[in-house]
Structure formats: structure tokens, C-alpha cells
Amino acid sequence: MKKALVLGATGGMGYALVRELGNRGVEVVAFSRGKEKLHALYQHEPRVTIFPGDALVEKDVIEAADGVDVIFHAVSFPYPEWEEKHPLCIEIIVRAAEIHHAKIALVDNIYAYGRQSKIEVNEDTKKEPHTKKGNIRLAMENRLKGSGIPSLIVHLPDVYGPNAENTILHETLKNVVQHKTANFVGDLKVAREYIFTLDAAKAMVELASREDTYNQNWNIPSAHQITGEEIIEILRKDAGYKKPIRTVSKTMIRFIGIFHPFMRELVEMMYLTEDPVILSGKKYEAKIGPVPRTPYQEGIKKTLHWMQQEDVGFKIKT
């Protein structure tokens, strides 16, 4: 892989992918609607070409994909817009890949797996989504598999890390940085997975760099499972956070959802805070090697440091 296009380059995973690709000497086209943020993130990166554009405009994506070997799909949309925008976005990416003979690497989540009784979910586990969003993600996966384009689908748990703002853990960390009362979504005693974005990007770029990894699904787990209580302990000990932390329950979100479309859409995904899907990384380990795993203590520290620098108006290297 000599050149790659990252769609959604101003998001958490998009940013991590651009950085990892650049670190490996790959020329990168960083694509996003946010021109100012693209410049803020990448104007000093010698291997990065900034391309402001809309992932829902076919002409923009086709132009940006000219000459690239792999198109990384890291575009996210607000929950209420998923049904309308995700299918269209996939169609446009497939078209661009067809025209330029490029491969596709999809940043995916765990929604398509649905509720699972297994201790760990592997890539052969039958996907039986029971939510609208899970069905949308499965439809995206099936569209890629039926396209005839070499594609790899990478399933990640909830992410956190530098520049990863639209995440469930960010809802907690943003108020920690601002020394305000923070919210934690879900049961504090339930152990869940959160993967550091830079780890996820390392694993995904490694997969995308090989020829024998395409037309497959890959699960990338986190360092280990962690409870909300353990996260709070890290915040107390390492960040000196002393404010109270409120637990946000499904009932509370359902009530807020009466007035807020995003919260209304979030309700159906709250099962993941009660009965988490835990990914197995055995396939990756057998084929590639150890899954990149930053300890939570270190990952949270780096994330908070990034957010603190953002708060005072400039970015740092991580």
C-alpha cells in the first residue's frame, strides 16, 4: 500500500488511521467536510494531502480516490441519520473503488452481532442483530461482500482516544477535563471493552497492508474488560479528579429521548452497557501476531492530555 484515502479523517478513528498510515510511510488523502479541522490536524504532516469534501457526494469521493490503493471508510453519522446516509455512503465508496481499482477497509462496530451469550465472540459467530442500527451495519457488510471489491471489515468495541469525540467514554472524560460533574453511561459494575483508537488503527493498517487478509472479517479486542468503577479509580488517582460522577441509566436516557432525537436513538443500544459483546482476537493473533494493547491507565492519560491541549486551543503529537 503506497497511497490511501481516509474518509472521515477528522473523527477519532479517521485521525488515528491517518497518523498510523503516515508513520508507515504511506501517502494519505485526508478527506472530511470540515476544512478548518482538516487543516488544524494535518497542515504540518508532509505525507498528508488535505481534501475537503462530502462522503455523500459521489464526485468528491471519486476525485479523492484517484490513485489510491485502499479506501478506509471511517465516516460516522448521527444516529438519527443512519438509515438514510449509511447505505448511500457505501454505494458511493463502492463506485469509487470500482473506478480506481482500489480495496476497501471498513471501520465497523459490534452492533451487527446483536445480543450474544458467548463469553467471547469470534469472526464465525452468526450475526443476528436485533436493533435497527445493527441491521444497518450488517447490510453495509453484506453490500461490501457482494460488491466483488477486495474488502476487509474490522469490528471494534467502543473506542476512545485523541480526537475521538463522538464516543460513549468521551461523555465522561470531557467533563473530567473541565472539572465538572461527569456522567458515566451504564452500570458502573459491568465490565465492558473500550479500545484505544491508536491501537485499533495499528491493527487495521496492518491488516490493510497485506494481500491475504481481504474478503474477511476481523475482530480487534481491547486491552481487557474494565468496569466503570475501575475507570473512575484511574481518573481519581491519575487525573486528580474529585468531582462526583453521575450514572446515566437506560431509564434516564429513555426519558431524555422524549425531547432529544439522539437520546431516543441511543436507547436501543443501551443493552451493550448491560450485556456487553466481548470480542475474541484469536484470529488476528494467529495470523498477524499480538493485538496492540495500550493499558487503560496509559490510554486514558493520553486521551485526557489531548483534550486538555484542545481546551487551550492547540493540538499535540501523540
Structure confidence by residue, pLDDT tens digits, 49-77: 999 999 999 999 999 999 999 999 999 99
For residue 13, what pLDDT band results from cuts at 50, 70 and 90?
very high
Q: How many domains does the chain have?
A: 1
The answer to whether residue 29 is domain-embedded is yes
CB 4 within 8 A of CB 69: yes
Q: What is the pTM of this model?
A: 0.94
For position 260, what pLDDT does the model report? 63
The answer to whether residue 105 is domain-embedded is yes
Q: Which domain holds residue 111?
A: 3-158+196-222+276-293
Q: Which three cell numbers stand for residue 124?
A: 464465525
The answer to whether residue 251 is domain-embedded is no
Q: Is the dihedral of CA 71, 76, 82, 85 positive or negative?
A: negative
CB 191 within 8 A of CB 229: no
- Tell me how far CA of residue 297 lies from CA of 12, 231, 283, in angstroms: 19, 8, 26
Is residue 25 pLDDT above 70, yes or no?
Answer: yes
Residue 101 maps to which CATH number?
3.40.50.720
Q: Which three cell numbers stand for residue 105?
A: 477497509
The answer to whether residue 304 is domain-embedded is no
The answer to whether residue 169 is domain-embedded is no
The residue behind cell 429513555 is 254
- Tell which residue, 52, 50, 51, 48, has the closest CA to residue 27: 48
> pLDDT tens-digit profile of 229-280?
999 999 999 889 999 999 988 777 776 655 566 667 778 888 899 899 999 9
- Angle between helix 296-311 and helix 228-239 axes, rounded to 10 deg: 60
The answer to whether residue 181 is domain-embedded is no
The answer to whether residue 306 is domain-embedded is no
The answer to whether residue 165 is domain-embedded is no
